[in-house]
Amino acid sequence: GALALAAPVLAYVFRGRADKQLKEKAKEEAPKAVIAAAEKMAEAFDERIDEVGEKLLHFVSAANAEVTKSVAELVRTAREATQRGDEAKVELTSATGMSLARLADVEGRMTRTRQTLWANGSGETTH
């Protein structure tokens, strides 16, 4: 009978001890868990940084090759127009003017799209 009466009190005392032990263990283990998680995150970040670096190197290399090719083509076209005479130069100048106008239009659209992206995050115009 006395044991049955003491059971709730003993349960409360033991629960308090168990909670205290659990809290102490958590205080010991939490820093280790945080450090382990941070190390894993750092590894993942390093991998992503390396991937972006590789992509950037590839992009710069490809862009450099494309610029070199474009400049060579421009020089070749100008030389050919000069060799063909004044009429060819006028034709080239006219075509270049139209290309520059189209380029200006594309740049304007890109600027508006960029502004829209920054404004609402979707790239869609808001109406």
Is the pTM above the cut of 0.85? Answer: no
How many helices and strands, by DSSP H and E, does the chain display?
2, 0
**Identity of the amino acid at 40:** K
Question: Would you say how long the chain is, in residues?
Answer: 127
Q: Are residues 72 and 108 in the same domain?
A: no
The H-or-E segment that residue 103 falls in is helix 86-120
Q: Are residues 21 and 34 in the same domain?
A: yes
Q: Are residues 98 and 36 in the same domain?
A: no
For residue 39, pLDDT beyond 90: yes
125 CB contacts (<8 Å, ≥6 apart)? 116
For residue 123, pLDDT beyond 70: no
Q: Are residues 90 and 50 in the same domain?
A: no
pLDDT for res 126: 53
Q: Are residues 55 and 102 in the same domain?
A: no
Q: How far apart are CA 6 and CA 92, in angstroms?
A: 103
Total domains, the chain: 2
Q: Are residues 20 and 76 in the same domain?
A: yes
Band the pLDDT of 8: cuts 50, 70, 90: confident
78 CB contacts (<8 Å, ≥6 apart)? 92
Report whether 116 contacts 125 (CB < 8 A). Answer: yes
Tokens, residue 21: 């032990």
Task: Express each pLDDT in 51-107 by its tens digit.
Answer: 999 999 999 999 889 889 988 988 888 888 888 888 888 888 888 888 888 889 999
Q: Tell me which residue range forms the domain holding 118.
A: 86-127
Q: How far apart are CA 68 and CA 25, in angstroms?
A: 64
Q: Are residues 104 and 77 in the same domain?
A: no
Q: Are residues 68 and 107 in the same domain?
A: no
- How many C-beta neighbours within 10 Å does residue 81 have? 19
